[in-house]
Structure 1
Amino acid sequence: MLKRLMHDHKHIAVLLNVLKNKQMRLSEGEAINFVVVRDIVEYMQGYAERSHHPVEDIIYAYYLAHKANNSIDKLSEEHEVVTAASSALMHTLNLILNDIVVAREKLIADFAEYVELQEKHMQMEERDIFPLLAKNLTEEDWQVIERQCQDSLIDDPLFLDREQQAFDELRSYLRNAEPS
């Protein structure tokens, strides 16, 4: 389960690098492909926020209930902040894609906030949460957790190695993008 979460983080990092590149180009006055940006945020909302984060929340709640003493669940709170930033960025992107004028500075700021929140969040999980879980949860704990996570687990709609139509343009962009 932890391996899957780390694998997801690698994929999310790839997408955050694309967003950083798009933000940089936008701040330099270049045109960018807003459909690719929207697809990345849509992926994050559809997969990361509806499967990845809920699985993390279930695992951490189990840890708090069975292994920790009086700990506060800051992980779920952080997921809510990331979700709010995602919604704000998606709202701005939808305005742009519907030909509604949005200040370039607002879009650049929304990009920067979103990417920074996501990166700091993943760094905190990888530095603090994941090692804590790996150290303290037993194989039996992981079996219980896996059963609890079944309703939240969905297949990755972008990075899974099988024929899918979701995110075709984004998948094509990632295949053809220059390494950064």
Structure 2
Amino acid sequence: MLARIDTDHRHITSLLNLLADKIDRLEQGGAVQMTMLHDAVDYLHRYADHCHHPLEDILYQYYLDKTEQSEGDVHRLAQEHHNLADATNAILDTLRMILNDQVVPRERLIKDLQLFLTMQRDHLSYEDNVLLPKVAAALDEDDWSKLQVMVADKIQHDPLFSSSARDYEDLRAYLAE
């Protein structure tokens, strides 16, 4: 399960790097393909918010129950997952407006994308550097076996990065370059 989370984090990071590149291009006055931006954020909404984060929430709750820790870090995680979902929806709304030929000032788009990117990167850093090491140290093989059963209904194929993926064809081709 930790390997899956690590893989997901690497995939998410590749999309965040793509967003950073597109933000730079926007800041320099260049054009970007809005459908690609939309697809990258839509993936984060569809996969990270609805599969990856719920899996992490179960893992961290299990960790809390096992170690009898106070909620501190894990409560923060749940709040961050909620805030990320809200931010993702807000960026998607903005991108949909643009794709529907509504006027959105470039500066607003850049600012919103920068805030979104920072929020996503800070979240990944927090998980990778604070929470996941604690969880890895606290759980044993029996715990991981129990967790596999608990998260079975949350595991979905990755709609962008799995070998059987059929969605986001243009984005997948771009990332492959």
TM-score of the two chains, using structure 2 as the length reference = 0.96
| Identical-residue share of aligned pairs (%) | 38
Q: Distance in 2 between matches of 1:29 and 1:154?
A: 38
Runs of 4+ residues over 3 Å off in structure 1: none
Residues 131-176 of structure 1: per-residue CA shift (max 9 Å, x gap): 00100011111111111101111011111123x3210010111122
Paired residue total: 175
One-letter code of the match for 2:10?
K
Question: Are 2:26 and 2:32, in contact at CA under 8 Å, matched by a contact in 1?
Answer: yes
Q: Which residue of 2 aligns with 1:45?
A: 45
RMSD in angstroms over aligned alpha carbons?
0.9
Q: Which residue of 1 aligns with 2:124?
A: 122
Residues 75-105 of structure 1: per-residue CA shift (max 9 Å, x gap): 1111011111111110100000000000111
Instruction: Give the superposition deviation at 1:70.
Output: 2.4
Instruction: Give the superposition deviation at 1:68.
Output: 2.9
Q: Give the match's secondary structure for 2:20.
A: helix
Q: Give the match's secondary structure for 1:31.
A: coil
Q: Which residue of 1 aligns with 2:81?
A: 79
Q: Which residue of 2 aligns with 1:170?
A: 171
> Mean alpha-carbon deviation: is it higher for 66-75 or for 24-33?
66-75
Gaps of 5+ in 2: none
Question: Are 2:160 and 2:166, in contact at CA under 8 Å, matched by a contact in 1?
Answer: no
Question: Are 2:39 and 2:168, in contact at CA under 8 Å, matched by a contact in 1?
Answer: yes
Q: Distance in 1 between matches of 2:80 and 2:143?
A: 24
Q: Which residue of 2 aligns with 1:88?
A: 90
TM-score of the two chains, using structure 1 as the length reference = 0.94
> Mean alpha-carbon deviation: is it higher for 68-77 or for 12-21?
68-77
1:64 aligns with 2:64: yes
Q: Distance in 1 between matches of 2:82 and 2:48?
A: 12
Q: Distance in 1 between matches of 2:41 and 2:16?
A: 10
Q: Distance in 2 between matches of 1:104 and 1:127?
A: 34
Q: Give the match's secondary structure for 1:159.
A: coil
